[in-house]
Amino acid sequence: MKNAIELSHDILPHAVPNYWSTMQTYPLHEEVDAVVIGTGAGGAPLLARLAQAGMKVVALEAGPRFSPFDDFATDEKSQAKLFWRHERLSAGQDPLAFGNNNSGTGVGGSTLHFTAYVPRPHENDLKVKTEFGRGEDWPFSYAELEPYLSEVEQFIGVSGPSSYPWGASRSKSYPLPPLDLNRAAQYMQKGCDRLGIRTSPAANAALSKDFTVKGVGQRPACNRRGFCQAGCNNGAKSSTDMTYLPLAVVHRAEIRDHSYVTEFELSKDKRTMTGVVYKRGGKTYRQKCRAVFLAAGGIETPRLLLLNSLANSSGQLGRNFMAHPGSEVWGEFPDKDEPWRGIPGALISEDFHRAPKAEYETGYLLQSIGVMPVTYVSQKVRGEKLWGEKLKAHMRQYPFVAGINMLGDCYPSSENFVELSDELDDRGLRKPRVHFTFGENEKRMMDHAEKKMRAIWEEAGARNIWTFKRGAHIIGTARMGHDADSCVVDPSGKAFDLENLYICDNSIFPSALSVNPALTIMALSLRTADHYLGRQS
Tens-place pLDDT, residues 261-313 = 999 999 999 999 999 999 999 999 999 999 999 999 999 999 999 999 999 99
Asked if 221 contacts 204 with a C-beta cutoff of 8 angstroms, the reply is no
pLDDT at 80: 78
**Mean pLDDT calculated for residue range 327-348:** 93
In a domain, 177, yes or no: yes
In a domain, 529, yes or no: yes
Nearest Cα to 3, choosing from 26, 36, 21, 20?
26
What is the spatial distance between Cα 207 and Cα 473, in angstroms, rounded to a whole number? 24
What is the spatial distance between Cα 250 and Cα 232, in angstroms, rounded to a whole number? 22
Nearest Cα to 406, choosing from 519, 324, 512?
324
pLDDT at 367: 97
H or E stretch at 262: strand 260-266
In a domain, 26, yes or no: yes
In a domain, 313, yes or no: yes
In a domain, 14, yes or no: no
Question: What mean pLDDT value characterizes the chain?
Answer: 93
Q: How many Cα neighbours within 13 Å face the side chain of 61? A: 29
In a domain, 15, yes or no: no
CA distances in angstroms from 423 to 90, 101, 103, 257, listed in the order given: 13, 22, 20, 26
In a domain, 71, yes or no: yes
Q: Which pLDDT tens digit goes with each residue over 401-435?
A: 999 999 999 999 999 999 999 999 999 999 999 99
**CATH number of the domain that residue 33 is part of:** 3.50.50.60
- Give the total number of structural domains in the chain: 1
What is the spatial distance between Cα 490 and Cα 503, in angstroms, rounded to a whole number? 10
More confident position, 478 or 169: 478
pLDDT surpasses 60 at 59: yes
In a domain, 4, yes or no: no
Q: Which domain holds residue 326?
A: 20-536
pLDDT at 300: 95
pLDDT at 520: 98
What is the spatial distance between Cα 470 and Cα 468, in angstroms, rounded to a whole number? 7
pLDDT surpasses 50 at 14: no
pLDDT surpasses 60 at 7: no
Crossing angle for the helix pair 388-395 and 373-384, to the nearest 10 degrees = 140
Nearest Cα to 35, choosing from 524, 502, 442?
502
Q: How many CB atoms lie within 10 A of CB 355?
A: 15
Nearest Cα to 251, choosing from 460, 535, 529?
529
Residues 6+ apart with CB under 8 A from 90: 96, 97, 98, 433, 434, 436
